[in-house]
Amino acid sequence: MTSVVAILGIGIGVSALIVALALANGFRDEMREKILRGTAHINVMRADGRPINDYRSLTSRIKTIPGVTSAAATSYDGAMLVGSKGAAYAVLRGLDKDSEQAINEVKDSVIEGSVTAIVAGRSKPEDLPSVLIGSELATRTGIHVGEIAEIISANTNSVPVNPVKRNVRMVGIFRSGLFEYDSTWIYLPLDVAAEFSGAPQSASVISLQLKDIYDSKRIATDIRASLGSSYTTVDWEEANRPLFNALALERRMGLFIIALIILIATLNITTTLILVVVERRRDIGILSAIGADGKSISAIFMIEGAIIGALGAVLGIFLGMVACIVGNRYQLVSLPADVYSITNVPFHPQVGDVLVAALVAFLLSWVATIYPAQAAARVRPVEMLRDTQ
């Protein structure tokens, strides 16, 4: 019975560790996917913070750098969006109509309406600009597809700063899955966004997509070397460093705490084998009397502990993987989007994490057998046989 309890304890500990690591992986991967879906792998901007006027020629130069798959001009400007329910802060995101990849990325997230009107642009100067807004922003301001809203933006390139007011027509609603974007972003043609900022025919940022996102440091260095000191770069890791550092710390702390659970469970093996030594003193004495040496007796108990550890590790892997499958199937981990930016966390178990959890449990189980095995090896056969007569 004590062996069964020990196996269950190790199995639960291993499964908890697998689930915790899968949850941490899922949260990290989900955040990274949502962030990179709406932002660039590398952003290129002027070192002095001024608008980029020659962004088309600059974009063409950057595309020739190895590792860059696409480059598109964009802009980020703060504004107020006024709808029937009230006003809300928004970020005007300029969309380069000549960038097919940028258009396709936005198109994939549209849940109502279409991005076609933004791509087509205005047929007449007096026509209202077309915009796409995030689903949360649409709910907050009460704006629906086809309606007219007002955008108020500060012209930061003029002195004194003068607000720019303009009516726009909402042609679609997008949902990126990241609350921060869905609650603030407005996509509009880049030339219209430049008019709001007071810098016509310009962009504030060149957004790059890379073949390998983990090669961003090297590519950013190549870009700075090619463009000179007038430009600077910010890659996706640098822009989100505090978030990913916090996730890494959370992962390490979870690993440490659950490893303690496994350690406590392995202590049951020590207790189990000590009881076996006490209960089987006569049998140990007989083995010693017929010629079994201390190493052979120690090996018996260490093998028993290893079997318990192996069974517990296998049980833990099974329970952990089943829990991950069920969690993903029914989306068991739901989060408030306004706090954590995502609505649910998937479980992403990795082979390496599963093997490490099982190996740690097995090694701790084996180590836990050392003291009982040594105690059994020290049993004197004469005393044991005499006491059990």
Q: Which two tokens stand for residue 369?
A: 């057998």
Q: Band the pLDDT of 251: cuts 50, 70, 90.
A: confident
Query: 204: Cβ–Cβ under 8 A, 6 or more apart, which residues?
Result: 45, 51, 52, 74, 75, 76, 77, 94, 197
Based on the domain organization, do 281 and 374 belong to the same domain? yes
**Any idea which of 86-100, 122-136, 165-179, 311-325 has the lowest mean pLDDT?**
122-136
Task: Give the other-Cβ count within 10 Å of 264's Cβ.
Answer: 12
Q: Report yes or no on 90 lying in a domain.
A: yes
Q: Report yes or no on 288 lying in a domain.
A: yes
Across the range 165-193, mean pLDDT stands at: 90
**Domain C-terminal end among 202, 225, 258:** 202
Distance CA 187, CA 78 (A): 12
Based on the domain organization, do 151 and 262 belong to the same domain? no
Q: Band the pLDDT of 179: cuts 50, 70, 90.
A: confident
Based on the domain organization, do 285 and 374 belong to the same domain? yes
**Domain C-terminal end among 179, 202, 225:** 202
Which ranges in 198-280 belong to alpha helices (H)?
Answer: 216-227, 236-239, 241-279
Q: Report yes or no on 209 lying in a domain.
A: no
Average pLDDT for the chain:
83
Q: Report yes or no on 66 lying in a domain.
A: no
Across the range 277-306, mean pLDDT stands at: 75
Based on the domain organization, do 190 and 320 belong to the same domain? no
Task: Domain of residue 316: give its range.
Answer: 2-34+242-387
Question: At 33, which amino acid appears?
Answer: E
Q: Band the pLDDT of 339: cuts 50, 70, 90.
A: low
Number of domains in the chain: 2
Report whether pLDDT(382) > 60.
no
> Of all helices (H) and strands (E), which one includes residue 105?
helix 100-107
Based on the domain organization, do 374 and 249 belong to the same domain? yes
> Of all helices (H) and strands (E), which one includes residue 165?
strand 162-174
State percent of the chain over pLDDT 70. 88
Q: Report yes or no on 70 lying in a domain.
A: no
Based on the domain organization, do 376 and 258 belong to the same domain? yes
Contact 166, 191 (CB under 8 A): no
Based on the domain organization, do 254 and 378 belong to the same domain? yes
Based on the domain organization, do 281 and 375 belong to the same domain? yes
Across the range 157-168, mean pLDDT stands at: 72
- What is the β-pairing status of strands 185-189 and 86-95? parallel
Distance CA 387, CA 383 (A): 6
Based on the domain organization, do 370 and 263 belong to the same domain? yes
Based on the domain organization, do 90 and 27 belong to the same domain? no
